[in-house]
Amino acid sequence: MLADMGTVKLVFQPAEEGQGGAYYVLQEGVLDDVSAIFGLHVDPVLPLGVVSGRPGPFAATTCRFLATVTRKGGHAALPHQAFDPTVATSSAILSLQQIVSREIDPLQGAVVSVTFVKGGDAYNVIPESMTFGGTLRSMTNEGLSYLMMRVKEIVEGESAVHHCTPTVDFMEDKMKTYPAVINDEGMYAHANSVAQSLLGEVNVKVAPQLMGAEDFGFYAQRMAGAFFTIGVGNKSTMVTATHSPHFVIDEDVLPIGSAFHAYVAIEYLEEICICMKI
């Protein structure tokens, strides 16, 4: 509680990586009375204490897919007696690569990545089933819906050509589709102004759009949100990715990030109080 200015809630949220923890926090109703939200993510590429953000679309929306292609296996010496799911799977994977290159505006961000393929384990047997899967990403929620539709159509179409039976599962009941992180223009401007006052203009950057995903997007759908990154790297700790076994941070960032959070909240409440008095 900040005197009579208002209330600040701190969100200690579990399951950000893959399980959509923010979605379940919202389902509990604990943020129903919140008008704005601010978040920070560490960035080892940025030097210690430098922050970055951007208005509008910032991070991608994403989902996962699992496809299975089945039919009749057989002996590899007699392929004409089988309906080979390996060929159907290969054709589908190649066709999926044409979605982004031939169907998506080159100025819009989109990704279709097949990241694993599983099938038989014998050198002389055509398997009865092949499984493959991966991730879809877009800078807009509408764009992701289109990618999902096309993946299903292509897998089903290529399977039919090769007399196979497909299933495509986006696993939405187990893994929530992360919405795009879209920074509210006003909330971004507020946080950016606070950052410049606190850290100096030279330490506040405009971030590029990211094809990575963050479940902060669930919050940003419900209230005015601003999501920034903060540098944690120095000459001895810089690595190229956060998802690395070698990832370390310069812990001197902790008071900087804490102060940034605090001042964003304090200045936001002060502005509300001033507006109410006017």
The predicted-structure confidence for 193-237, as pLDDT tens digits, reads as follows: 999 999 999 999 999 999 988 999 999 999 999 999 999 887 766
pTM of the entire predicted model: 0.83
Pair (123, 156) in one structural domain = yes
Establish if 7 belongs to a structural domain.
no
According to DSSP, the residues that pair with 227 across neighbouring strands are: 39
Establish if 4 belongs to a structural domain.
no
- Of 269, 255, 259, 257, which Cα lies nearest the Cα of 190? 269
- Number of other residues whose CB lies within 10 A of the CB of residue 234: 16
Pair (54, 182) in one structural domain = yes
Say what angle helices 141-161 and 85-103 make with each other, to 10 degrees: 140
Pair (112, 158) in one structural domain = yes
Pair (252, 157) in one structural domain = no
Pair (83, 30) in one structural domain = no
Pair (104, 154) in one structural domain = yes
User: What distance in Å separates the CA atoms of residue 34 and residue 144, rounded to the nearest whole number?
Assistant: 28
Pair (99, 146) in one structural domain = yes
Residue 95: domain span: 61-169
Structure confidence at residue 34 as a pLDDT band (50, 70, 90): very high
User: What distance in Å separates the CA atoms of residue 195 and residue 259, rounded to the nearest whole number?
Assistant: 10
Pair (155, 186) in one structural domain = no
pLDDT of res. 278: 47
Domain of residue 128, CATH code: 3.30.70.360
For the chain, what is the mean pLDDT? 89
- Residue where a domain stops, chosen among 169, 186, 202: 169
Pair (155, 199) in one structural domain = no
Provide the number of structural domains found in the chain: 2
Name which of 7-16, 230-239, 251-260 the model is least confident about.
Answer: 230-239
Give the highest mean pLDDT range of 33-47, 149-163, 238-252.
149-163
Pair (144, 72) in one structural domain = yes
End-to-end CA distance of the chain: 23
Bigger pLDDT: 240 vs 266:
266
Establish if 220 belongs to a structural domain.
yes
Pair (124, 199) in one structural domain = no
> Are 61 and 141 within 8 A, CB to CB?
yes
